[in-house]
């Protein structure tokens, strides 16, 4: 059983910064891809950023130049450094991971989500 645990959300003023973290635990063979998604009220869920085991990254156009996704040294963690935050960034942020189990099957896992609120 794999679990993703997130932390780092909170309330911040426009222009401020937050750093989200997500750690995967449980029985697994490897983690192929980790990503951050977000969903604001009345909007569809969107991919914010992703990173592969090889280090390739992908960002939503709206966060390029402001957000940075990275993997921890242990490779079971992912971080999202969010700078120059805007009110439009307010959303529930979910950690996502594509993980190969001990049976080598690829499965998709989600964290419970962490609230990010950007407001003055």
Q: What is the pLDDT of residues 103-116, one digit of tens each?
A: 999 999 999 999 99
What's the rounded Cα separation, in Å, for the pair 108 and 70? 19
Q: Is the pLDDT of residue 15 over 90?
A: yes
At residue 1, the pLDDT reads 85
Both tokens of 32, joined, read: 């192929």
CB-based contact 109:4 (threshold 8 Å): yes
Residues 55-92: tens digit of each pLDDT: 999 999 999 999 999 999 888 999 999 999 999 999 99
Q: Provide the CB-side half-sphere exposure for 25 (13 A, CA).
A: 5
The pLDDT of 31-47, averaged and rounded, is 96
Both tokens of 68, joined, read: 């940075």
CB-based contact 83:69 (threshold 8 Å): no
Both tokens of 80, joined, read: 């999202």
At residue 75, the pLDDT reads 80
């Amino acid at each position: 059983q794999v679990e993703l645990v997130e932390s780092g959300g909170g309330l911040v003023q426009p222009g401020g910064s937050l750093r989200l973290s997500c750690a995967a635990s449980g029985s697994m063979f490897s983690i192929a891809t980790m990503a951050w998604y977000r969903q604001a009220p009345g909007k569809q869920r969107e991919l914010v950023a992703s990173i592969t085991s090889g280090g390739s990254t992908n960002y939503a156009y709206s966060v390029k130049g402001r957000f940075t996704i990275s993997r921890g040294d242990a490779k079971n963690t992912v971080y999202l450094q969010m700078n120059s935050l805007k009110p439009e960034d307010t959303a529930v942020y979910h950690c996502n991971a594509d993980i190969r189990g001990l049976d080598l099957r690829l499965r998709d896992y989600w964290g419970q989500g962490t609230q990010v609120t950007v407001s003055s």
